[in-house]
Structure 1
Amino acid sequence: MNANKGQLSRSFFSSQVLSELRNAIISGKLPAGEKIVESSIAEQMGVSRGPVRNALFILENEGLITFLPTGRTVSNGFSLNDAEKLYEMRAFLELKSIELLFTEKALHFHQIKHINDELKKNQDDVSEFTRLDVSYHHELIRLSGNKYLLQSWLSLCPLIESVLTITNARFREKGADGWDKGYVIDHHEKILTALMTGNLGNALLFLKEHLDIGKQTMLGQLEEIVK
């Protein structure tokens, strides 16, 4: 039992460290070339070096840091070009999932509808709104029935969610006039209606429009943050 508690504790701290470091790199607080020292991070965050080490391995897999042959670890930063490429791959995977979804039979969309209903209730909570937004798209991918497509999307999901969390928070800082995410809910409903009525063309059209607007909005906010 104690061993299990220890594993859970390490997992919890690793997740916290990972999230903070990922956000720091994406927001430009740890720019490209910045040295990352495992012991210093552990001391700053009040954790042992184990959770930091675990987080760094994941960040390397995400392309956000590099372990140099000299033994040093440096940030790769996160540029606007990186953000564009991330969204290009996201769009490719999600549009493909819609095409595959229409080949499946007896699909149920109640979970997607439930998520969008929850989005309406949580428009003032940036963190929860972002989580639900990502969950909506996760469900679209899952319904495609292609586990390899799902695995590919899940590998990008932490980066997507971090970028959205950072840029949505930036929106919120601008006050009520800056924070207007009604278009997200509206687009989600249009996509859902197209899915439920079996209209592949509209489903693809609305999803592409949704992702294009989201991409431009995200890039505009990210440019302000990292400049």
Structure 2
Amino acid sequence: MDVVEGGSAPGWTLKRRTYRDQILEALRSSIISGALQPGARISEAELAGRFGVSRGPLREALGVLIQEGLLVSIPFTGTHVADLSPTEVDEIFSLRTQLEIFAFQQVWDRRDAAFAQELTRRHEQLLASIDSGDDEASIQHELALHSFVYEAAGHSLLLSVWNGLRGKLQLYWAAHHRAHGRRGPKPEGHLDYLRCALGDDFAAMEAEIREHMLRGFGRTQDFMRAREATQGPRTGRPAEPEQ
């Protein structure tokens, strides 16, 4: 869905909070839900009119979404909703696996009761969003669950790299759920992850991370390739590097 002349707004209304934050929430939700489809062009004039705001807070919100990787700014083309290629899905899978193993290596000997309590709390939040059938909330809570080990690792560069992946991860999880025809991950999908993260066997934790990342990956990759075969590459994607 292009946010251009004659388009339809997916039910956006603003409450009394910071305009930038409200716009961020509305646009992020629309991107993750698919109401704003990958490759859709973003029109500042159209959005400013629909939200009833000046372009200042709108541009701030768009800048944050570009930093998160949910939007891309393409020279001479404009700003578009980001899209993932099958190649990027492969890269996310391989990089994220190694990053999460490294993050647990950093924090393993410093885990304490507070670590266990917070990881368990985030897992319970994820389960609650799954039970409610809220796909967007489940993506945010799954992201929060996996983010915790990076936050706890005490490695600022690692956390920066992880934060740079957050937007693409949200797009990946949204595609993953659509590929499997469900809203949110399986309720039991993180039980082994949590058990190993709170256990004493790092080798088991490493094996679980690898297995966790593999679950459903092939089906999601097939889904992305089939979509590209039928619809072609979309605009909201950076150019592939030349070989």
- TM-score calculated relative to the size of structure 2: 0.67
| AA in 1 matched with 2:73 | T
Give the match's secondary structure for 2:73: strand
Please give the alpha-carbon distance, in whole angstroms, between the structure 1 residues aligned to 2:68 and 2:166: 10
Give the match's secondary structure for 1:102: helix
C-alpha displacement of 1:18: 4.2
More helix as a share of residues: 1
Give the match's secondary structure for 2:110: coil
C-alpha displacement of 1:203: 0.5
Please give the alpha-carbon distance, in whole angstroms, between the structure 1 residues aligned to 2:215 and 2:56: 40
**Who is 1:181 aligned against?**
186
Please give the alpha-carbon distance, in whole angstroms, between the structure 1 residues aligned to 2:18 and 2:212: 39
Deviations 1:86-139 (A, max 9, x none): 333322221110111224364631211232234344433223332322222111
Question: Gaps (5+ residues) in structure 2?
Answer: 1-15, 231-243
C-alpha displacement of 1:182: 3.7
C-alpha displacement of 1:17: 5.0
Q: CA RMSD in A?
A: 3.5
C-alpha displacement of 1:62: 4.7
C-alpha displacement of 1:39: 0.8
- TM-score calculated relative to the size of structure 1: 0.71
Q: 1:86 aligns with which of 65, 88, 92?
A: 92
Instruction: Answer yes or no: is 1:14 the counterpart of 2:19.
Output: no
| AA in 1 matched with 2:110 | E
8 A contact 2:66–2:73 mirrored in 1: yes
C-alpha displacement of 1:190: 3.6
**RCO comparison, higher one (Cα < 8 Å, 6+):** 2
**Who is 1:117 aligned against?**
124
Give the match's secondary structure for 2:18: helix
**Who is 1:3 aligned against?**
none
Give the match's secondary structure for 1:54: helix
Question: Gaps (5+ residues) in structure 1?
Answer: 1-6
- Give the direction of change, closer, same or farther, for the CA distance of 1:133–1:43 in structure 2 (3 Å limit): same
**Who is 1:40 aligned against?**
46
**Who is 2:9 aligned against?**
none
Give the match's secondary structure for 1:123: helix
Give the match's secondary structure for 1:216: helix
Q: 2:214 aligns with which of 212, 215, 225?
A: 212
Give the match's secondary structure for 2:218: helix
**Count of aligned residue pairs for this structure pair:** 210
Identity %: 16
C-alpha displacement of 1:154: 2.0
